[in-house]
Amino acid sequence: MKTEKPKTSLPKIALPRIYMIDSEIASGKYPNSKYLAKKLEMSVATISRDIEFMRDQLLAPIEYDTFKKGYYYTEKLYRLPAGFSSVEDILALSMATSILSLYCETPIYDAANHLLECITAPLANDRNTDWLENRIVVPKIASVKVKPEIWNIIVNGLKKNNVITFEYKGIMDKDYQDRRVHPYQLLFDSGVWYLYGFAEERKAMRIFALSRMRNVALQKEAFPLPKNFSDTDIVGESYFGVYVGDEKYKFAIDCYDDAAIFAAERQWADDQKITEIKGGVTIEFTSTQFDKVLRWVLSNGTNAIPRKPKQLVSEWKRKISEIYKVLSK
């Protein structure tokens, strides 16, 4: 009978968890495996293996206090060293703090930021990462704040596959309307969080901005999650952001000057094709994101000229005519 050898290396995915356990033990709270498992949303068996790894392989001075029913460090000032992690791991974790700023308007930000600080604090003591703070930066973007009660209910709906109900006021709606939705995904696009799910009233997939919801409630009814749903259902095999379209179009857009450079250096769709033309490039691709593509073309002024489909050309000309009428008043 073969005996299982103790692990002598740690999967990279477990690194944040190990440092969080280190932080909890060093805090003097005497955490036990059950408490840590609940806090980190892991099994008690996994936490027990982590602690065993810390004690046997990383030589952490961990002991269990039977009176206080929890773990503690026999050396009061001990913190887990970063010697077993690579430079790349340390840099990635430090950079994650900056990237996390994109989610500062969500209820998860404070908890996630605290977790990263707990992880990176002992790393910073062993290896210099101070230079990262003002050298690798994710600039802030205009974002919409999410109410914690709405966020938490939707997250519970995602976790349990339970129906959620709410009142919603779309951009074109004059007043709020009742909605009953099967939540599939939370999506982030240009500073706004959206819920993607099946709307029972419409009997179709829809996207809802969390900022336009009110009176959100979690229902007892569960729903079966589709086996093969994907974010490609939302973006239609192109990458212009969150949008659900019902029809695929073959787009062709001539781009000039800075729009040509911007278009050529990015991947806009799976089947993207870029051809050089005099003074610029033509970008061709397939997408269901008609409105998003139209907005992108308009945002580039005279440096983006649509060629296909006819619907895009017509709508582009109509929008330009409307702008001209406003400016002529």
Give residue 140's pLDDT. Answer: 76
Q: What is the pLDDT of residues 134-165, one digit of tens each?
A: 777 777 777 888 888 999 999 999 999 999 99
- % the chain with pLDDT above 70: 79
- How far apart CA 80 and CA 51 sit, in angstroms, is 12
Between β-strands 304-308 and 249-256, what pairing exists: parallel, antiparallel or unpaired? antiparallel
- Name the residue with higher pLDDT: 99 or 256: 256
Instruction: Note the pLDDT of residue 64.
Output: 94
Q: Between residues 265 and 112, which one has the greater pLDDT?
A: 265
Of 105-109, 192-196, 291-295, least confident by mean pLDDT is 105-109
Domain coordinates of the chain in residue numbers? 12-73, 87-132, 148-229, 241-328
pLDDT greater at residue 132 or residue 312: 312
Q: Which residue has the higher pLDDT, 2 or 313?
A: 313
Lowest-pLDDT range of 70-74, 109-113, 236-240, 247-251? 109-113
Domain 12-73 identical in fold to domain 148-229? no
Q: How confident is the model at residue 4 (pLDDT cuts 50, 70, 90)?
A: very low
* pLDDT tens digits, 159-184: 999 999 999 998 888 899 999 999 99
Its CATH architecture, for the domain 12-73, is Orthogonal Bundle (1.10)
Return all residues near 282 (Cβ < 8 A) that are at least 6 apart. Answer: 252, 253, 254, 255, 274, 275, 307
User: With bands split at pLDDT 50, 70 and 90, how would you rate the model's confidence at 108?
Assistant: confident
- Look at residue 264 in the predicted model and tell me its pLDDT: 92
pLDDT in tens, 292-310: 999 999 999 999 999 999 9
Q: What is the mean pLDDT of the chain?
A: 84
pLDDT surpassing 50 at residue 5: no
- 148-229 topology per CATH: SH3 type barrels. (2.30.30)
Q: List, for residues 206-249, the tens digit of each pLDDT value.
A: 899 999 999 999 999 999 988 876 655 565 678 888 876 778 89
pLDDT tens string 258-283: 999 999 999 999 899 999 999 999 99
What is the side-by-side order of every strand in the sheet holding 204-209?
204-209, 192-199, 177-189, 162-168, 213-222
pLDDT confidence of residue 130? 62
Predicted confidence at residue 57, as pLDDT, reads 81
Q: What is the mean pLDDT of residues 317-322?
A: 95
pLDDT > 90: percent of the chain: 48
With 50 as the cut, is the pLDDT of residue 6 above it? Answer: no
SS (H, E, C) the chain: CCCCCCCCCCCHHHHHHHHHHHHHHHCCCCCCHHHHHHHHCCCHHHHHHHHHHHHHCCCCCEEEECCCCEEEECCCCCCCCCCCCCHHHHHHHHHHHHHHHHHCCCCHHHHHHHHHHHHHHHHHHHCCCHHHCCCCCCCCCCCCCCCHHHHHHHHHHHHHCEEEEEEECCCCCCCCEEEEEEEEEEEEECCEEEEEEEECCCCEEEEEEHHHEEEEEEEEEECCCCCCCCCHHHHCCECCCCCCCCCCEEEEEEEEHHHHHHHHCCCCECCCEEEEECCEEEEEEEECCHHHHHHHHHHCHHHEEEEECHHHHHHHHHHHHHHHHHHHC
